[in-house]
Amino acid sequence: MTDRDAPPEPAYRALAATLRARIADGRFRGGVRLPTESELSEEFGLSRQTVRRAFQDLVAEGAVYRVPGRGTFATESSGRYLRQLGSIEDLMNLSDDTTMEVLDPPRRGVDVDVAGRLRLDTDLVYRMAFRRFHDGVPFVVTTVWWPERIARLVVSAPEVQAGASSAYTMIGLLEPRLTSPIVEAAQSITVGAASADVARRLDCPEGHPMLRVDRLYSDATGDPVELAVSYFLPEHYTYRVTLRRS
């Protein structure tokens, strides 16, 4: 079955994703109540049952809580950037409420280890580094590497030049240019220490504990498209994944 033949996302999941994005954007801070089931039903043209199912998902994952007689409220996250991830689309939508600033523009070079992880028959790869901001606070530094065939698609784009700032993710920039869509992100999460470079770029002490996330993106043919290694400040970032039975 092709992506074009895939069934559409259930309406309650789409609504939950929209509410999640609004929460991350800060619309319901300071005890501001979320819209009621009736208000959301009217806004989105959905049944009350569909809205209720979306709220149930958000309550189950801890994004909101309900107070009888008062309404539904966003869970406070102590100033952290909260991102709910469950799909490739969620990763692309990181740009909805964050900003990407290019630190090191794409450069071609030799990296044997990265070439091996990208399953290349050459040691030549392209490397780029950037950081992301939420509410003006940098919370992650990411380095990405591409095979040359992929780098050619974006290396001249204004969004990846030195100092460029934009509301994009790298896979969001890549996806429209690919002949085969990104369908998988193999991910590992570990704890790491901030190097001198990461510490300088995130304004934290060298050696500071960091959340390290490695992702290897692959397209529908199984070929690796991008390797991304990110260092998140744990005091400014909360990572949440919802697992569902297939």
Summarize pLDDT for 66-89 with one digit per residue, the tens. 877 788 888 765 455 545 555 555
Strand partners, 133: 99, 138
Q: Which residue has the tokens 């789409």?
A: 14
Summarize pLDDT for 116-128 with one digit per residue, the tens. 999 999 999 999 9
* Residue 245 maps to a domain: no
Which residue range is the domain that position 43 belongs to? 11-74
> What's the pLDDT score for residue 195?
96
Give the global pTM.
Answer: 0.66
> What's the pLDDT score for residue 3?
47
> What's the pLDDT score for residue 78?
47
Ranges assigned E (strand) in the chain: 64-67, 71-74, 81-85, 99-110, 124-134, 137-146, 165-166, 182-193, 209-219, 224-232, 237-241
Positions of the chain with pLDDT under 70: 1-7, 76-97, 239-246
Quote the number of domains for the chain: 2
* Residue 229 maps to a domain: yes
Domain boundary among 74, 89, 118: 74
DSSP output for 118-135:
TT-SSSEEEEEEEEEEET
* Residue 1 maps to a domain: no
At 54, which CATH number? Answer: 1.10.10.10
